[in-house]
Amino acid sequence: TIAIMLFRRDLRLTDNTALAAACKTNARVLPLYIHADHEEAPWNAGAASHWWLHHSLEALQRRLRGCGANLHLLQGDTLHVLRNVIERSGAAAVYWNRRYEPAAVTRDTQIKAALREQGVAVHTYSANLWSEPWQVETKQGEPYRVFTPYWRNLRPSITVTPPLLEPIGIKWVELPAGLTLAALKLLPRIRWDEGFGDTWRPGEAGAQDALELFCDDAIVDYAAGRDLPARHGTSRLSPHLHFGEISPRQIHHAIHRHTQRVDTRRRPDIEPYLRELGWREFAYHLLYHFPRTTTESFNPRFANFPWAPTNDAQLMRWQQGRTGIPLVDAGMRELWHTGWMHNRVRMIVASFLTKNLRQHWSHGARWFWDTLVDADLANNTLGWQWVAGCGADAAPYFRVFNPVSQARKFDPEGTYLRRWLPELADLPVDLLHEPWHEPSVLKRSGYPSPMVDVRASREEALSAFQSWRGA
Ligand code: FAD
């Protein structure tokens, strides 16, 4: 018999549950990828995600070719394309790993029903989370809304498990008339992506390299180092995780094995890192149980929150990294240049947009969606609403990050600021943090003066919040 392995957000051969299951049946396997961006609406992938997807598919094609297989690429409506491939190949079964975004859940449910009705078996698996979003629940049988009890419940069930190996000895099937990768037109026409190529290596091998680098280096000091944007202090696995080039199980297994080799007295504590992966898991739990939150605030009271009217000129300055607040601008430029931004800086630019400028969080979420290589509906929704104060288990609205004191605390030498704001690079550190104190500096460097006064705009946000809450 013939089985179709439908690759989606699981662009890897190792620890791929659906692929391993398809191979175990002794069926001949047809590896297929269907590009169906329109089915993701309203969260069709952005430009940076497309860049990553192109290179990740290229890497998967190479991996498969090395095993004597050909990744069949097609595009169109998934069900229609699948039916066509089933007819041409005579496949009797389809295998895929599950997705959890609302649009994907609805589509996959329909496809499963339609294929089963025509006598084709559909087998679906979990490959990218430690636990399915519906498996963790409160004593009352409800979904969690607060992270700490959620994690307390989930953590004991997470054990170090060896990942599944890459299947070997598979009989592959090839179909004629697939599309070329170029035909999917995923790369930008205007080449703004040079910084991406210098920063990233999409694909399964790139993910393994990033993991190894993290184990050899940053994990030792992760709990403190993860807050310093100038350092390579985090794993930078987020885009690899998003595209399923690596699984949490693989990461856990590798860092556990690595740290076991270290002398017990100097063995790093891996819990803070696992906890961050736990936030990712929590984000998927929320996404699955509260799908409306991808477009609405989790906290329904925020439906009538007095956000300022949309201000395109302000939004543009924020997007371009020209707000006149160094840490905000450095972060926005890092994002534009590399498709990634350090987590602490993400919180600060988000706080600046939603509090100092009082723009609706969805404007920020949209911009991140288009520009992040790790744009992920679960994590992005959680991140924005956490900062804006309207999410599940969010920071309270009145917690407004001060971008100047944050920069002094987490980038005391100004290394990160100098990297992304070359026009200010030779300033002494005090002036670098607050260049507006020396108007001649602004004039000479062309760096803008602050678009808002950080203190005054904070007070305005707090008083808007107080009067809304009072009402
Ligand atoms: P590490 O510190 O090495 O963490 C390991 C992994 O844990 C990450 O790859 C990620 O999968 C997960 N993780 C870490 N922190 C968080 C978190 N706070 N919430 C959920 N998962 C987390 N992350 C995305 O993957 N995609 C997004 O679109 C996204 N948007 C965000 C928007 C805002 C406003 C904020 C504040 C955060 C956002 N995050 C997002 C979370 C976080 O910033 C990134 O996951 C992290 O910076 C990725 O870098 P890393 O892989 O080096 O992280």
Count of CB atoms within 10 A of residue 265's CB?
5
Q: 5 alpha carbon to ligand 1 midpoint, in Å?
A: 29
Same structural domain, 314 and 410: yes
Whether residue 392 has its Cβ less than 6 Å from ligand 1: no
343 catalytic, yes or no? yes
361 catalytic, yes or no? yes
* Cβ(265)–Cβ(399) below 8 Å: no
Question: In terms of residue numbers, what domain contains 372?
Answer: 300-470
Whether residue 319 has its Cβ less than 6 Å from ligand 1: no
- For the stretch 143-184, pLDDT in tens is 999 999 999 999 999 999 999 999 998 999 999 889 999 999
Q: 343 alpha carbon to ligand 1 midpoint, in Å?
A: 6
d(CA 22, CA 400): 50
Confidence (pLDDT) at 264: 85
* Distances, alpha carbon 425 to alpha carbons 261, 416, 418, 433, in Å: 41, 10, 4, 11
Q: 467 alpha carbon to ligand 1 midpoint, in Å?
A: 33
Confidence (pLDDT) at 393: 85
51 catalytic, yes or no? no
Same structural domain, 319 and 257: no
Whether residue 29 has its Cβ less than 6 Å from ligand 1: no
Same structural domain, 157 and 259: yes
Length of the chain: 471
249 within domain boundaries: yes
156 within domain boundaries: yes
Confidence (pLDDT) at 106: 97
Same structural domain, 415 and 322: yes
Out of 40, 70, 343, 468, the active site residue is: 343
Same structural domain, 324 and 271: no
Q: Is residue 72 exposed (0-12), middle (13-18) or buried (19+ Cβ within 10 Å)?
A: buried
181 within domain boundaries: no
Count of CB atoms within 10 A of residue 413's CB?
10
- Reported ipTM: 0.99
CATH value at residue 276: 1.25.40.80
299 catalytic, yes or no? no
Radius of gyration from C-alpha coordinates of the chain: 24
d(CA 43, CA 37): 9
Confidence (pLDDT) at 52: 98
- Among 209, 215, 236, 238, the mutation site with the greatest number of ligand 1 atoms within 8 A of its Cβ is 238
CATH value at residue 345: 1.10.579.10
| Sites in the chain below the pLDDT cut of 70 | none
Q: 380: number of CA atoms within 13 Å, CB side?
A: 27
Q: What is the pTM of this model?
A: 0.97
279 catalytic, yes or no? yes
Total domains in the fold of the chain? 3
Select from 258, 289, 320 the last residue of a domain.
289
Select from 231, 264, 289 the last residue of a domain.
289
